[in-house]
Structure 1
Amino acid sequence: MSNNKLTVIDREGSTHDLEWEEDQTLMEALRDNDLPVLASCGGTASCATCHVFLEKEVFDTLADRSEDELELLVEAEGYRECGSRLSCQLDFSRELDGLKVTLAPEE
């Protein structure tokens, strides 16, 4: 089993290089590496405390956001029509190796 590499820019602008394991969502990878992702609903897409920004090139390759995810994101601070995702809704995928993600402002 091999992991994906993941680069995270935190809210202070610091960069963190992490491993993203096959059985994790992006939110779990962030949380398990002690990044300040509250994830208060535990990954059920019923809050927006795991809101992240993705680069357009990656964002455009992903499946569309669900109605529930979009509804939460539109209300979230810093929402971007192109780039905002709930990290709990992004499952590990080989195609996301090397992903660069930025933590959104805290609610």
Structure 2
Amino acid sequence: MNAADTWLAILWLTLATILTRCSFFLLGRHAVRLPPKLQHALRYAPAAALAAIVAPDLLLANGELAMSWSNPKLMAGLGAVLVFLTTRHLLGTIIAGMLLFTLLRITL
């Protein structure tokens, strides 16, 4: 692959990115509106993506399922959930989860 091919690939990928990400801005009102049920379902996409990233880290240790009391990540995650359910304070949840994880990691 020579330099011209590389620059041509970069140009085409840039164009594809701009068109797909900016299509709603470029088309404005002419864009197809999503059905209300789909719009409602898409509101849960960020939470689902976050859960898909966090859950394996909490449940796996060295590639194996580690659902025991000796798993500091899992215990800290459960503690953070309890803090959030009682306070509904996101920053406090993060701080409590990290403090609990640090304490459990040191003691276990």
- Tell me the TM-score normalized by structure 1: 0.22
Higher percent of residues as helix: 2
Give the number of the structure whose alpha-carbon radius of gyration is greater.
2
